[in-house]
Structure 1
Amino acid sequence: MLGFITCPVRGEADRLIAALADRLLAEGRDVIGMVRADIAQRSDCEMHLRLLPEGNVHTISQDLGRGADACVLDAGALEQVVAQVARSLDDAPPGTIALFNKFGKQEASGRGCRDLIAQAIGADLAVIVSVPPETRTDFDRFSDGFAQQVAPNIDALAAFLGS
Structure 2
Amino acid sequence: MNSRAFESARASIVAIGGADSAGKRGLIDDFLRRRRAEGLRVVGVVEARDPGAEACASRAVTDLATGARIGISQNLGPGSTACALDPGGLALACAAVQRSLQQGADLVVLSKFGKLEAGGGGLCDAFSAALEIGAPVVTTLHPVLREDWARFAGDLAEEIAPEPQALESWWRDVSRAARAA
Q: Give me the TM-score of the superposition, normalised by structure 1.
A: 0.88
Q: 1:106 aligns with which of 112, 116, 119?
A: 116
Counterpart of 1:126 in structure 2 is 136
Q: What stretches of structure 2 of length at least 5 have no aligned partner?
A: 1-11, 176-181
1:28–1:103 Cα change, 3 Å: same
Q: What stretches of structure 1 of length at least 5 have no aligned partner?
A: none
Aligned length: 161
The CA deviation string for residues 13-60 of structure 1, in whole angstroms up to 9 with x for no partner, is 233223322332233211000111142342123311011133221111
1:127–1:6 Cα change, 3 Å: same
Identity among equivalent pairs (%): 33
Distance of 2:171 and 2:49 partners within structure 1? 24
Distance of 2:21 and 2:51 partners within structure 1? 17
Distance of 1:70 and 1:14 partners within structure 2? 22
Whichever of the two has the greater Rg, that structure is 2
CA contact (8 A) 1:15 1:36 kept: no
- Mapped pair 1:141 → 2:128: no
Task: Give the partner amino acid of 2:44.
Answer: G
Q: 1:18 aligns with which of 8, 29, 37?
A: 29
Distance of 1:149 and 1:81 partners within structure 2? 24
1:154–1:66 Cα change, 3 Å: farther
Counterpart of 1:29 in structure 2 is 40
What is the SS of the residue equivalent to 1:55?
coil
CA contact (8 A) 2:43 2:108 kept: yes
The runs of 4+ residues in structure 1 deviating greater than 4 Å are: none
1:19–1:59 Cα change, 3 Å: farther
Counterpart of 1:92 in structure 2 is 104
The CA deviation string for residues 139-159 of structure 1, in whole angstroms up to 9 with x for no partner, is 101111221222212332123
CA contact (8 A) 1:32 1:97 kept: yes
CA positional deviation for 1:11: 3.2
- Mapped pair 1:8 → 2:58: no
What is the SS of the residue equivalent to 1:144?
helix
Query: CA-atom RMSD, angstroms?
Result: 1.9
Q: 1:73 aligns with which of 71, 78, 85?
A: 85
